[in-house]
Structure 1
Amino acid sequence: MSVSEWELVFILFDMFFAGSETTVNTFTWLCCYLAAHPQVQRKLHAEIDEVLPSGALPTLAEKSRMPYMEAVINETMRACALVNFGLQHVANNDTQLGGYTIPQGTVVNTTVTSVHYDSRYWDRPKEFKPERWLDENGKFSMAKEGFLPFGVGKVFT
């Protein structure tokens, strides 16, 4: 497959826009949740102070030593659903789902918020609880069913 120079410009623009938009939105929501939950803000600040010497900028090397930071970021992405409607998919075959028939070729869309607030996956889903991302030893645990901050599967074009 080849693309024209003009198409390449649009592809690069999409990649840049999508990456920067989600980062900005995550940070904006993170600030809102920290303002609304001062106890989380204090705990996060304490972890940062412990791991980073005064005035030091973080690097990837410190990531594993900041499990609460990772937990706060993931909880923010769970709670605010950056890509609320996920990505469109197409049914490859006639499919039965929940008593409904989805004909082959039907465009199917997800609502990420409904998954991120589903009590089958999350204990007290309406609460902002970064601790849900930490194991019994206080280590960050990413393996979470029902966490789809950027959708799942191939993109329908």
Structure 2
Amino acid sequence: MSLDPRELRNALGQFTTGVCVITANPPGYKPFGMTVNSFASVSLDPALVLWSLRNDSECLDAFNKSKTFTVNVLASDQVDMSNLYAKKSEHELRDDHYRIGKSGAPVLRGALSSFECETWANYEGGDHVIVVGKVIEMDNKPGAKPLVFQAGQYRELR
């Protein structure tokens, strides 16, 4: 059976996800981030999470050179931040958007949760690289509303 890539993407888009900005600060680069919705928990012990990055991403080289990164789970009031860091060639972090965390990776201000990670492993995954990180620090703001995405648009939980 041959799958139409657009139909597959539309069907996968029915799965409601949170929105994250992955941030890093590798040598030779300014702190940067990119918006993703491909984030998942892998393990509690050790604490592992994953996200995926297209093989042709303009951020691939920078992430490959970074030993740490932060998964920033966005809050519902961070739509503008999500849109900004989703744009091609718009990945340099604005000074007022972040602080440097204990791991040396940028942590976004106002995020619902932030997971500072050391890169654990990278795996080939078709047209993506699956990045697994070991969580070494985290921040959490219980009670805030998450930014969610489904069927090509932001949604609100009720």
- What's the TM-score bracket when you normalise by the shorter of the two chains? under 0.3
More strand by share: 2
Query: Normalized against structure 2, the TM-score is what?
Result: 0.25
Larger Rg: 1
Bigger RCO (CA 8 Å, 6+ sep): 2
